[in-house]
Structure 1
Amino acid sequence: MSESQEKRQFTAEEWDYLTKYFVGNNFRYRQNIIIPKSVGPIQIKTNEEKMVESFFESCMFKSMMSCVVDTAEPQTARQVFREMKTTTLGYAKNFALIGALFSGVECVIESTRGKSDWKNGTYAGAVTGGLIGLRAGVKAGVVGAMGFAAFSTVIDYYMHSRF
């Protein structure tokens, strides 16, 4: 085994660096500003207060809280699952309609061209994306056509290169 393939172990300093990187550090670079006494009472934060404050401002804490915090009205698991079912069924219907539209357009293009190659998926993606985006305007239709065509081309390339 080469050195790059060996299992890597972190040192204590590296763990400390990663912790400070993801959770935040205790350094406040603008904490030493001199405030005149005429402004009002000065309250200097202790290191513990700074540490707690940096924890609550960290991305990890905000991410965890976004999973936990909900509306003011507590919901039961049954209510949450019912809402999830409704949302999931809506997404499934939209995905099915887009898939049906794409497949139908691709079939028509393939029949018209008389060829079965990567261009069919690209053209079908452009037509499908354009039709979907056209509901929001011409500019959105053009962007949707380009985006869906690029996505279809990448997926088609990926699927054909794997086998």
Structure 2
Amino acid sequence: MEPQSAQAAARPLSSFMDVLLSDRYTSLRLIKNPFGDEIPPINPLKVQQFFTEGCLSRSCLMGIAGGGLGLLFGGFFFTMRPVDIDTTLPMWQQIKQSYKGFIPEVVQSAKSFAKIGFIFSLVECFIEKGRAAHDINNSVYAGCATGAALAYKSGPGAMLGGCAAFGIGSAVFEHFLGGHEAD
């Protein structure tokens, strides 16, 4: 009788691939129900539909993407601002002094961008589903609602200004970058 490692080495690689490509693994039926019935397979189209058509999931993804963009912009703008550094200190002390508030400022920028991305995407998705249309008006309405929501704590005047600024900005972005036909 051959040792077990020799048997495994003699087995062709295709049998391992046959296991991975079997119906059980391709349909994601990895566990069995303890009550005897097999768990129905997960439909990959339903998973894709959940992430592309679901308002909450799309908004969460846009919030994460906005947070990543906020990290980049926050780091860039932090390095562009003027700093007052004591030049008599050694180099590493100067670097520490110049980047003292780097992390909190970058995190605040990421939070702001994430909030904008989440709110805008959520409102736009609900408006798009409610109107059953995909056009520039959805972006304008969503921009207005986002601007007003972000300025909520500052009062009605700021909410009106935020609504106008974000609505106009959304219209300009959609007109030049959105690929929609002009209405």
TM-score category of the 2 structures, normalised to the smaller one: 0.5 to 0.7
Is 2:83–2:98's contact at 8 Å kept on the other side of the alignment? no
Are positions 1:145 and 2:145 aligned together? no
Q: Distance in 2 between matches of 1:155 and 1:69?
A: 37
Q: Which of 68, 79, 95 is equivalent to 2:113?
A: 95
Taking the TM superposition and a 5 Å limit, the aligned residue runs for 1:9-158 are: 67=82, 69-70=84-85, 76-158=94-176
Q: How much is the aligned-residue C-alpha RMSD, in angstroms?
A: 2.7
Question: Displacement of 1:91 after TM fit?
Answer: 0.5
SS at match of 1:135: helix
Question: Displacement of 1:78 after TM fit?
Answer: 2.5
- Listed one character per residue, the Cα deviations across residues 113-162 of structure 1 (whole Å, up to 9, x for unaligned) are 00000000000000111111121000110111011100011111111359
Taking a change above 3 Å as real, the CA distance of residues 142 and 83 of structure 1, as seen in their structure-2 partners, is same
Count, aligned residues: 97
Q: Distance in 1 between matches of 2:140 and 2:122?
A: 14
- Give 1:4's aligned residue: none
SS at match of 2:133: coil
- Scaled by the length of structure 2, the TM-score of the pair is 0.47
Q: Structure 2: state its 5+ residue gaps.
A: 1-80
Moved over 2 A (4+): 66-71, 78-82
- Listed one character per residue, the Cα deviations across residues 17-59 of structure 1 (whole Å, up to 9, x for unaligned) are xxxxxxxxxxxxxxxxxxxxxxxxxxxxxxxxxxxxxxxxxxx
Question: Displacement of 1:94 after TM fit?
Answer: 1.1
Bigger RCO of structures 1 and 2 (CA < 8 A, at least 6 apart): 2
